[in-house]
Amino acid sequence: MRIMMTLLGNAPTAPIDAYLAKANAHVITSLRLAEDGAIASLIGDTITIERTTSALRAVWILDVPSRTFAIELARNAPGDDGTLEIRESYTPADFGAPEEPTPPPPPTKPGNLRYVAFIRTDHVAENGAPPDPKTLARMDEYCAPLAASGTMLGGEGLKSSARGARIRRSAAQRFVLDGPFTESKELVGGYMLVQAHSLDDVLELIRPWLVIHKEGARVDQSHIEVRRLLDDDRSLVVGA
C-alpha cells in the first residue's frame, strides 16, 4: 500500500532518512519543506493569500506491506520531538486502473524551483468515499496540461484520516492516536508537486484546484498550502 508520512515539528530529518533506508519500506519520495510558503483560501468567490505556513517540515511517500507496518515504522523512527502522521494514498487500483511502473519525473527546468501544494480538508467533510467521477474528470482536465508541460511533477489524493494514525513523540515516549482526527480543523487531502519560477506563479496555477475542491467536496471554502522544497530533496514521484 502507498502511504504519506509527514513530520510536524522541528526534529532533525536526517536520522529518519537513515532509519528508513534500513527498514523494509520502499521510499519513493523524500521531501524537505522550506519555511517560506503561503496559504491560498477560496471563501465564497474570493481568493485570499496569507504569507504563513503550517508546522509541516518533511514528507515521505512510502510503499509498505500494511497499515500496521506503517504505524510501527513511525513508532520506531528516531527523534524525540514532533508528530509523525501516517495517511494512506489512493492508487490507480482504487479507481479500477492497472498498476504501472512509476515513470521518472521531468527534469527541473533552468530557473525553476520545486514546490509542493497541499489541499486541505475538514474532518467534517470526510466521508470515506473516493472523489466522485465528475470531480475526478475535472481534476484530470486540470492536471493534463500541467503534466504535459512538465510543470506538474507528481501528486496523489489521500484517503480519509479514519485510515490514518499519528505518533506523537516526547523524549523516548511514543503516543499512537488512531484516526479519524476529529480535533483537527484542517487535514491534508492530497498533494501536488510542481516546478515554477516563483511562489507567486504556483499560487496562480493552483487557483483552479481551489475551485474544483470547493465544488467537488461541497464545502463553503477550500485552502491550499504551498511550500518550496529544499534543494537536497530526493527524486520526485509522478503519483496515481
Query: Of residues 73 and 25, which shows the higher confidence score?
Result: 73
235 pLDDT band, cuts 50/70/90, is very low
127 pLDDT band, cuts 50/70/90, is low
Let me know the angle formed at the C-alpha of 164 by 158 and 168, rounded to the nearest 5 degrees. 125
pTM: 0.90
Place of cell 479507481: 95
Distance CA 96, CA 114 (A): 31
Q: Crossing angle of helices 207-217/133-148, nearest 10°?
A: 170
pLDDT at 197: 96
Strand ranges inside 80-131, DSSP E: 83-88, 113-121
184 pLDDT band, cuts 50/70/90, is low
pLDDT digits (tens, 9 = 90+) for 186-234: 689 999 999 999 999 999 999 999 999 999 888 889 999 999 999 754 4
In percent, the amount of the chain with pLDDT more than 70 equals 89
- Using alpha carbons, select from 28, 34, 13, 4 the residue that is nearest to residue 226: 34
The answer to whether 179 and 3 are in contact (CB under 8 A) is no
Place of cell 461541497: 218
Element (H, E) at 161: none
pLDDT at 128 over 70: no
